Structure 1
Amino acid sequence: MLSKKRTLTLGAGAMATAMALAACSSGNVSSGGDGAGDGENVTLNLATVNNGQMKDMEQLKGEYESANPGVTVNFQVMEEADLRAAVTADVASGAGQYDIVTIGAYETPQWGANGWLVDLTEPLASDPDYDVEDLLEPVRVAISNDGKQYAVPFYGESSILMYNKEILDEAGVTLSDNPTWQEVADAAAEVKTDGMAGICMRGKPGWGDLFAPLTTVVQTFGGNWYDADWNATVDSPEWKEAVEFYKTMLDESGQADPVSYSFNECLTALKEEQAAMWADASVAASLLEADDSPVKGKMGYAHMPTVETQESGWLWSWNLAVPSTTQNQEQAIDFVKWATSKEYHQLVGEEIGWSNVPPGARQSTYEIPEYEEAAAAYAPITLDVMSSVNPEQPGVNPQPWVGIQYVSIPEFQDVGNQCAQLIADYIANRTSVDDALAECQGLAQPAGEAQQ
């Protein structure tokens, strides 16, 4: 369910920061006209996040460029928060710096409804070789609005618990396939040593950083951002219990300075055996099991921990979209199709490694024998969790929006970012939990009232 308000709003400070980031991004605006189709050279500027699968795409882009003389794809790789700020500023303002953008399931339907993205429905459906129906339906639906598809999933994910089996076995610790958060906290405390955290969790401020896992923790503890009437409930006892639990677990068993950690930092910690466990995006499993991973074959995987709900995983996809301001629409769509095609998945497997194939996007990927073998440790649980979570009601109580680790209203990006900074301050002992939640409640309430 989208908000009745269609225009994305950012606080003045957030928009100013986003504009500055966009202005400072490297690369030139693509040339105009019909581009390579008329014999001209075309540069496609692609903004993306610095995750492993996107770096693989950059590594393989030469294959596309060789097959399409005159087209150069310029990757502008950023950290997650910087990417969101830069892309939001560019697309919302119509500046036209990017021809292709990497955006999440949160932004895609809203931006499509605003007219900021090219409608990809017909270009995808009219190409039988692309096979749009092969895209996993839950993910495809999440990036559509009013029956129109505005992006294509590069990879999809839920969240799972990842743990080093050797470390836990040495400590005599076992975990169930569907653990509780208390079970995980106890295990983390038992395996923690002076040189290794028992668990690594995101603490870096940002609605897509800290709040990605923390919102699911809040939901399984019985809380949520809003009730069924769009009244903010951030100052509820359930929120306080969940946030205090999160901080206590990190204080007792987590990594040092957790507010500097997000996805990539925790990934490195697990690979280097500086942490024994990590609850985060399921796509991380493919990186932990990659041929160059020092913990390949050592890892175990379980459902995201719960308290009061049956599941607590999220549902997310990183997607490639084409801003409506691009002057190279045809070439941009063509690259997007190439980078999300069956052939691309085959290319990744053959050139980089089968465990590196982007997961959670295409059903056919899970039918490739080489991928089935390489991803045997994590592919089944990824599909199981993705099909088990309920984005219409992920928590204990009904909610008036569709989404798990985010609220699908335009205001949430700004509210979530500001609230994440408040909670990070609490985790870093710079404020109290009561003060952080009270201030966050004050930020969330006007956004909820705007939907009433």
Structure 2
Amino acid sequence: MPRTRTPRRWRSTLAVALTVALVSTACSGAGGGSSGDDDTTLTVLMVGNPQMEDLAKVTAENFTKDTGITVRFTILPENELRDKVTQDVATQGGQYDVATIGAYEAPIWAQNGWLHELSSYADADAGYDKGDLLEPMVASLSGTDGKLYAAPFYGESSFLMYNKDLFAAKGLTMPERPTWQQVAGFAAQLDDKPAGVAGICLRGLPGWGELFAPLTTVVNTFGGTWFEKDWTPKVNAPEFTEATKFYVDLLRAHGQPGAPQAGFTECLNTFGQGKAAMWYDATVAAGTLEDPASSAVAGKVGYAYAPVNRTESSSWLWTWALAMPKTTKNAEAAWKFISWATGKEYEKLIGGSLGWPRVPAGKRQSTYQIPEYRQSAQSFADITLKSIQEADPVNPGAQPRPALGVQFVGIPEFADLGTKVSQEVSAAIAGQTTVDKALADGQRLAEGVAARHR
């Protein structure tokens, strides 16, 4: 039956190893606030994905040139980023003026008083147009006081990507809304190890935001959950076990080589080189895959909704966003940067200079009204937007939940819990342990978490 529409308060997960330091100066002082002096320098910590790397590339010649504000970037893989930003913000280290966080961290850190609220800045910034931001993204980055605590740089859901040429060669047709059983059947038929083509690419890299981003959506649609409404842990329950065994067995039988070390970036490279027939992951990957300069499969990719089993949909909801730690001494300049990087004109800058598929989409309604973007993203724009709207962080599975989140549980302890269980499941993918043992260990950890919330 149709899903009930509910308020959304919440993705995924991306990584490339890179550290960038951009030091630039200019003599102009334009901008919307009182800051913007030539000697102002911002330190920005970002997750290492293609869209963030593009931001680092264009900042000096655009933002710094127009404002006189120097920006120094540190860009890290997702797991390293999470560790570093958490350590700095939680301890009030004050090393960064702006940091990348996501839909998981924003509400929790806002409640802890670690972040500047951004609603007052956005409301006072006539050119920002806060009302243009997609409601699910705003809700996922807001605190219990209703204020915005991070500005979405891009938004995403999840879907299944597939190589249309490989499907056509086998006479196979991908349904618009496939089941996981159908996906497994396709993977078996398309797996061609002698040719170096895997049937499917899936994340196996440990990390609550790596392996368990896609895997938790599989758990959800198989009828499982981390916790029931009363905080009863269900990590080794039959449904959670069935979903995890399905995922592990699929990877072991028809997945990419080196799966236990593969995260978003590794799968992006594998699929983008034509070495996998399918890939289930973040919708944001489509922009890179459709860029001929960085993808061997541009124009050859089909997109289907997130595979399901027992539920009608199973896509996740995520945004990588820019937040301002309370410790910054450059709040006005930091907002100038955030406003510029997450604003309408930035998307036009990227589209016009680097290519429209590379626009950091999924956060603004106006993005989907830009003719050039609509043309370049015609194969994935609508399904991305619909997947974002369908994602339900309140009721993502078959039973009521005690906390918000689709691919995570919106409590502080989940980062540690999810990461530890992911390490065990990754070991099962590598053949070093069994799923039953991994989830039995996970159940014991989850019981400790549950005891603190009952």
TM-score (normalizing by structure 2): 0.91
The 8 Å contact of residues 197 and 274 in structure 1, kept in 2 or not, is answered as yes
Unpaired runs of at least 5, structure 1: 2-24, 29-34
The reply to whether residue 202 of structure 1 matches residue 200 of structure 2 is: no
Partner Cα separation in structure 2 for residue 26 and residue 72 of structure 1: 13
Displacement of 1:39 after TM fit? 4.2
Q: Which residue pairs with 2:322 in the alignment?
A: 320
Of 293, 301, 310 in structure 2, the residue corresponding to residue 308 of structure 1 is 310
Aligned 1:17-416 pairs, distance under 5 A? 37=35, 39=37, 41-62=39-60, 63-69=62-68, 71-145=69-143, 146-194=145-193, 195-292=196-293, 293-416=295-418
Runs of 4+ residues deviating >6 angstroms: 25-28
Q: Distance in 2 between matches of 1:111 and 1:27?
A: 27
Cα distance in 2 between the residues matched to 1:27 and 1:357: 23
Distance in 2 (alpha carbons) for counterparts of 1:273 and 1:108: 36
Q: Deviation per CA, 1:374-429, whole angstroms, max 9, x where unpaired?
A: 00000000011111121111111111211100000001111111111011111111
Whichever residue aligns with residue 343 of structure 1, its letter is E
In the TM superposition, residue 449 of structure 1 has moved relative to its aligned partner by: 2.0
Q: Which SS does the other structure have where 1:213 is aligned?
A: helix
Distance 1:255 1:339 in 2: 35
Is the 8 Å Cα contact of residues 204 and 211 (structure 2) preserved in structure 1? yes
Asked whether the 8 Å contact 1:210–1:420 carries over to 2, the reply is yes
Letter aligned with residue 148 of structure 1? K
- Secondary structure, aligned partner of 2:453: coil
Corresponding residue number in structure 2 for 1:9: none
Letter in 1 for 2:430: A
Q: Verify the 8 A CA contact 2:20 2:73 in the aligned structure 1.
A: no
Residues 438-447 or 313-322, more deviating: 438-447
SS in 1 for 2:197: coil
- Over the matched positions of the two proteins, sequence identity in percent amounts to 47
TM norm structure 1: 0.91
Deviations 1:13-39 (A, max 9, x none): xxxxxxxxxxxx9979xxxxxx99484
**SS class of match (1:358):** coil
In structure 1, C-alpha distance between the alignment counterparts of 2:274 and 2:298, rounded to whole Å: 12
Mapped contact 2:42–2:97 kept (Cα < 8 A):
yes
Partner of 1:317, secondary structure, is strand
Q: Name the counterpart of 1:21.
A: none
Checking the alignment, whether the CA contact within 8 Å between 1:231 and 1:449 is kept in structure 2 is: no
CA contact (8 A) 2:34 2:332 kept: no
Assess if the C-alpha contact under 8 Å between 1:36 and 1:42 holds in 2.
Answer: no
Count the aligned residue pairs: 422
Structure 2 segments unaligned to the other structure (5+ residues): 1-5, 7-18, 23-32
Residues in 2 aligned to 1:116 and 1:378: alpha-carbon distance in whole angstroms:
36
How has the CA–CA distance of structure 1 residues 219 and 38 changed in structure 2, closer, same or farther, with 3 Å as cutoff?
closer
Deviation (angstroms), 1:128:
2.0
For the 8 Å contact 2:36–2:67, the answer to whether it is kept is no
Say what the alpha-carbon RMSD is for the aligned residues. 1.6
The Cα shift of 1:239 comes to 1.1
Preserved CA contact (<8 Å) 2:98 2:324: yes
Equivalent residue letter for 2:290: E
Contact 1:100 1:320 in 2 (8 A): yes
